[in-house]
Structure 1
Amino acid sequence: MKRAGRRAEVEENARVFHRIRRRAKGPSEVRKRLAELHAQMQDQVPPGFAVPEPEPGAAAVVDDFLPPELRGPSHDQVEGEMMPWKQPLVLDGEIAVCAVCGAYRDWLILSTRGQIWLRCRAGHQQQETRIDTAWYNRHSGPADATHATFEDCLRHLGH
């Protein structure tokens, strides 16, 4: 039993020494190629590396994405926005009803100066305090048109 263990130990030592002798002959082809590539890349710098940051006061000039004729008006250039709401409007578990005529569907919801107004088909308007501009923004889609007057917008939406 001792001979078998000793023999396995001798064989293992022979393998280790064989590996050491193989390394002593010189680097493998892969190691040579890696050393050549490393030497070639010594003087190269990736693009943008070690480029000084722009000064904080200097603003970069960037062209706008859209040309001026395709830009829509910004929020500060618009008096307000409106969207149609055909179905009954349920707020806090109650259906919104026109205070004058009793209409409960086919609303225009207007958002202007941080306030929300409801306009029924008959043209009656009432401020709705249970809705805020965040609610309006979540439920309104993208604007499909801009109009110079309130009446033009009403005609566009069929009211």
Structure 2
Amino acid sequence: MADSTAANRDPHHNVVLAVPHSAPLAPRGIRITCPSCGAERDWLLIQIAPAVFVRCRCTWEWQERDLGTEEVAAARYPGPETEWTSMEEMYRGLGFDGLFAYAYFG
């Protein structure tokens, strides 16, 4: 059985943190809206090193320079964490692969 502790991970492998966030986001007081479908809530926040990306259920994804790692950390909730073998598997597993485009949850 493989040990998945951080000490045993490849140091050259980027760790990706993906956090579903059902509420609207308004960094600097400006509400984020998906430029593709117009959604205003129900996001997937993706942190890769210091960069934060926002993904909509319609699959539109962009780097949000007004969001920092502290917003991603605040959106996390206690519970089991899942390790995914690929980004595509993660998107499917969390419902951000386009299947639920134009649907709101939470």
TM-score when normalising by structure 2 = 0.71
The Cα of 1:141 is off from its aligned counterpart by 3.0
Match of 2:37 in 1: 101
Partner of residue 79 from structure 1, selected from 6, 12, 15: 15
Query: How far does the alpha carbon of each residue in 1:120-155 deviate from its partner, in whole angstroms, 9 at most, with x for none?
Result: 110001111111113222322355210110011112
Cα distance in 2, alignment partners of residues 129 and 114 from structure 1: 10
For structure 1, list consecutive stretches of 5 or more residues without a partner in the other structure.
Answer: 1-67
Cα distance in 2, alignment partners of residues 72 and 145 from structure 1: 13
Say whether residues 1:91 and 2:24 are aligned partners. no
Aligned 8 A contact 2:16 2:49 in 1? yes
Match of 2:87 in 1: 150
Which amino acid in the other structure matches residue 62 of structure 2?
Q
More helix by share: 1
Which amino acid in the other structure matches residue 5 of structure 2?
G
Which of the pair has the greater relative contact order for Cα pairs under 8 Å at 6+ separation? 2
Match of 1:118 in 2: 54
The Cα of 1:89 is off from its aligned counterpart by 1.4
Percentage of identical aligned residues: 25
Query: How far does the alpha carbon of each residue in 1:93-133 deviate from its partner, in whole angstroms, 9 at most, with x for none?
Result: 22111122211111111001310010111000111111111
Query: Which secondary structure does the structure 2 equivalent of 1:105 belong to?
Result: coil
How many matched pairs?
92
Aligned 8 A contact 1:98 1:126 in 2? no
Which amino acid in the other structure matches residue 72 of structure 1?
T
TM-score when normalising by structure 1 = 0.50
Aligned 8 A contact 1:83 1:140 in 2? yes
Query: How far does the alpha carbon of each residue in 1:5-45 deviate from its partner, in whole angstroms, 9 at most, with x for none?
Result: xxxxxxxxxxxxxxxxxxxxxxxxxxxxxxxxxxxxxxxxx
Query: Which secondary structure does the structure 2 equivalent of 1:108 belong to?
Result: strand
Cα distance in 2, alignment partners of residues 73 and 147 from structure 1: 15
For structure 2, list consecutive stretches of 5 or more residues without a partner in the other structure.
Answer: 97-106
Which amino acid in the other structure matches residue 54 of structure 2?
L
